Structure 1
Amino acid sequence: MYAVTVDARIAGGAPEMDELQRVGAIALLEQGFDAVDGIEGPDGAAVEVEVIDSVVAVYPGGAVLKVFTHAPTLETAEEAVRSLVEELLERSDLLSDWTIDKCEVQLHPDLAQESLDAATGPNSPPADPAARRAHLAQTPGSTAASPAEIAADAEKVRHQMLALAAGLKAFGPGPFGVLSEEDAEDEGVGGCEGTTDQDAQLAAGSLMWATDVLVDQLFMDVHTLTEGHTNVAECEDVLWHLEGLPNRYALRYDAKFARRFLVTVIAMTTRFTQGTFTELSCVAEELALRLLLTEAKVCLETFGLLDTGVEQALDCFADLVYEDMDHAWLYDDATDGIEDSPIGRAPRVAPLGLADWFTPFNEGRYVHPYAMATPTGDDQRDGEADS
């Protein structure tokens, strides 16, 4: 199964849609998808692409569509879905001047690596990403990008990330390890040796880029658990990020939990970009930041941009934002049960048990009302109360 992401936007210069227009756009797109069971392959190919499901999210400037398909190849899925969405847009007076900015399959990194690991023999691709791209470019008949094209693409993404850096308004270069002139002259002031302004900007931009990817893919995880009426431990479909949470609670990561966690990610990253962030608010935010940092490094590595300086800048950022690393105990099977007892660990603001993940550390911390427990403190609505 392929999940194709389509970013469709209103015409340039057109006024943004008001609430009524957005409702109308959702209805038109959903009705269009409901009427489709399959799509012809590209260029009238005999193969048919089956449309399994679709998710429509409309915002003032356009819509993000998730189309889940069965197709023989990634390229076939992308081309067929693009053709379908173009046809749906053309059919409507409201949507006919929209354009498609993106139509692509996002490969799950674990599945992609699994496929590479399974490839054996003299003709199998190298494990190193850079060597693999060069190998594909030299393969006869391959349509893979040349080294020059790969370098150009990486440079383009680098510029895009640098442009995004200013959007991380809550943090200047200091949190990424860049010392001011006064601090650099003070021998007693620490920092990240070798971290430059460019490193800091690229690290900040990668966090902005990763925020978009993380939120987008968490929506897909929510959809997967909702449709399957299941939880992370028992889910047979691919999940993007929820499997990256502590495994000891995997049976209790159901669709409702996933929605609460998604809202927490959005609330945290909103404070990053509004400039209102001061401290992480709860255990769920500590785990959300862990996923965000991992995704930022994956995005950088994908485009060959994760060098020592940028990685160090992200590590400096993590050291500053985290008040402590107690949440890491949740990933250690040897400490199973420590979250429910203060014995053997230093005192912290709040316990680590799942029932407390969305509880603010103190009255000064902000947790979105949707993510918090009910006013009575009853988390039985999610089946999440600790046993």
Structure 2
Amino acid sequence: MDYAVTAELEPPTGVVEFDPLQKEGIAAVLDRQLALVEGVSGPGDTEIDVLDYRITVHATGANVVLALEAPSLLAAEDAAASVLDELISESEALVGWSVAHSEVRITEDEFNERLAAADVDTDGELEAAVEEALEAGVEPTMDLEHWRAHLTGLAPQLRAFDLDVFGIAGEPAALAAGALIHAVRVVTDEVFYDELALAVNNASVADVEGLLVLEELPTCYDHRYDAFFARAFLLASAAVAVRFTEPGWTPPRSVAEAFALQLFINEARVLLEAAELMTWEDSEQVFAAFAGRAFADTEYEELYEVDLPLTDAEPERAERVAKVETDLHARGLAFDQWFTPRDGGPGVHPYLGII
């Protein structure tokens, strides 16, 4: 039988409240660990499968919902607690955390009722019923007014800029600012997803389909975007995100940081359109004004115009590839220069120094 178990995770004693960036980091760590879990041993050496999960990080902890296939309600609760206890013990980022409680949200009778109501007779319908059970009791998708309140509430975190940076005033400017802050979480999570997919497949973006964000980078270097690159890019994007919250703005210091900033902008525009708070055409003008102040330069965009893979090529293309690489290197845009500071300031994170 399938059960949805909800568990509350508590941080170490003394933690008062998480800020938005800490929430994003905690959610990313939990997601990364849970994505690797397929099952756990239950009573009598039975195998309990983990079907799906949901993560919600709030100001004082985290809520995790696990969909499990287990022989009984008690076994499901014990299995969920076991999975989360092991996850915490194996993660350095979660030292001091604990499982406060673990309980079934959807009972067997309720689940059977959902199955009967859905008239389940195929695997696809069963999966849909499990999904419906998981969603029961979960906070509903926010409507337009909730998104409006959510984004305007996030706007003050964009301390590096005055709202006039968007070329508009009032609530629309606040919505744009809040969308940028929200985009940080989305893009960060998506980089984690992509890194996991690349690591599991020991592949690059050129070899994997269905990635969430890294495939938005210039295709000429798709063969260079592997799991190691994804981890390095995450550090670069985190540096940009932190500077959003500082009192003064420091433009992207490297090519990688410039691309991270552009991805935040892209996601902010997608969100505003999806929430029906700003049309795509209107957001183009708004974020063009923002980009004019936020970027030190936009040379990095030229990489999107490179129309061939910059990799080992057939003899007839090798000369052209070499010429393009030489030109990019002269302008500081070659892949091996992406994480090198272009402003002559302090060095980079040691992890980025070996990319």
- Bin the TM-score by the shorter chain: 0.5 to 0.7
Distance 1:229 1:62, change over 3 A: farther
Pick from 323, 326, 349 the counterpart of residue 368 of structure 1: 349
Greater CA deviation, 355-364 or 298-307?
298-307
Distance 1:339 1:270, change over 3 A: farther
- Shift of residue 357 of structure 1? 0.4
For residues 16 and 98 of structure 1, the distance between their equivalents in structure 2, rounded to whole angstroms, comes to: 21
For residues 51 and 190 of structure 2, the distance between their equivalents in structure 1, rounded to whole angstroms, comes to: 18
- Shift of residue 311 of structure 1? 4.1
Match of 2:291 in 1: 318
- Shift of residue 340 of structure 1? 2.9
Q: Give 2:191's aligned amino acid.
A: L
Distance 1:248 1:309, change over 3 A: closer
Please list the CA deviations of residues 97-149 of structure 1 after superposition, one character each: whole Å capped at 9, or x if unmatched: 4899xxxxxxxxxxxxxxxxxxxxxxxxxxxxxxxxxxxxxxxxxxxxxxxx9
Pick from 231, 238, 249 the counterpart of residue 221 of structure 2: 249
1:272 aligns with 2:244: yes
Q: Give 2:205's aligned amino acid.
A: V
For residues 327 and 56 of structure 2, the distance between their equivalents in structure 1, rounded to whole angstroms, comes to: 42
For residues 334 and 165 of structure 2, the distance between their equivalents in structure 1, rounded to whole angstroms, comes to: 29
- 8 Å contact kept, 1:339–1:353: yes
Please list the CA deviations of residues 343-373 of structure 1 after superposition, one character each: whole Å capped at 9, or x if unmatched: 9xxx9xx5110000000003226643322x2
Pick from 24, 33, 40 the counterpart of residue 36 of structure 1: 40
Deviation above 6 Å: which 4+ runs of structure 1? 52-60, 83-87, 90-93
Match of 2:255 in 1: 283
Question: Percent of pairs identical after alignment?
Answer: 31
Match of 2:211 in 1: 239
- 8 Å contact kept, 2:255–2:339: yes
Pick from 168, 179, 182 the counterpart of residue 209 of structure 1: 182
For residues 95 and 57 of structure 1, the distance between their equivalents in structure 2, rounded to whole angstroms, comes to: 14
Distance 1:200 1:36, change over 3 A: same
The residue correspondences of 1:1-387 to structure 2 (distance < 5 A) are: 10=10, 15-16=14-15, 33=37, 35-36=39-40, 51=50, 61-63=60-62, 88-89=80-81, 94-97=98-101, 153-177=143-167, 195-236=168-209, 238-307=210-279, 309-333=282-306, 338=324, 340-341=326-327, 351-364=332-345, 367-371=348-352, 373-374=353-354, 379=355
Please list the CA deviations of residues 272-308 of structure 1 after superposition, one character each: whole Å capped at 9, or x if unmatched: 1133532210011111111111111111122112235
Aligned length: 266
- 8 Å contact kept, 2:198–2:226: yes
Normalized per residue, the structure richer in helix is: 2
For residues 366 and 53 of structure 1, the distance between their equivalents in structure 2, rounded to whole angstroms, comes to: 42
- Shift of residue 323 of structure 1? 2.5
Q: Give 1:364's aligned amino acid.
A: G
Please list the CA deviations of residues 318-357 of structure 1 after superposition, one character each: whole Å capped at 9, or x if unmatched: 12112322111100135975563279xxx9xx51100000
SS at match of 1:352: coil
SS at match of 1:95: strand
Distance 1:55 1:205, change over 3 A: closer
SS at match of 2:40: coil
SS at match of 2:179: helix
Greater CA deviation, 361-370 or 53-62?
53-62
- 8 Å contact kept, 1:8–1:99: no
Pairwise CA RMSD: 4.5
Normalised TM-score (structure 1):
0.57
For residues 258 and 221 of structure 2, the distance between their equivalents in structure 1, rounded to whole angstroms, comes to: 16
Distance 1:369 1:249, change over 3 A: same
Distance 1:338 1:198, change over 3 A: farther
SS at match of 1:305: coil
For residues 306 and 277 of structure 1, the distance between their equivalents in structure 2, rounded to whole angstroms, comes to: 25
Structure 1: give runs of 5+ residues left out of the alignment.
1-5, 39-48, 68-77, 101-148, 178-194, 380-387
Please list the CA deviations of residues 70-114 of structure 1 after superposition, one character each: whole Å capped at 9, or x if unmatched: xxxxxxxx8669x978972599794234899xxxxxxxxxxxxxx
Structure 2: give runs of 5+ residues left out of the alignment.
1-5, 17-25, 43-47, 86-96, 105-139, 309-320
Distance 1:240 1:16, change over 3 A: same
Q: Give 1:220's aligned amino acid.
A: Y
Normalised TM-score (structure 2):
0.61
Distance 1:365 1:310, change over 3 A: farther
For residues 64 and 245 of structure 1, the distance between their equivalents in structure 2, rounded to whole angstroms, comes to: 33
- Shift of residue 268 of structure 1? 1.0
For residues 235 and 259 of structure 2, the distance between their equivalents in structure 1, rounded to whole angstroms, comes to: 13
Q: Give 1:340's aligned amino acid.
A: T
For residues 269 and 169 of structure 1, the distance between their equivalents in structure 2, rounded to whole angstroms, comes to: 11
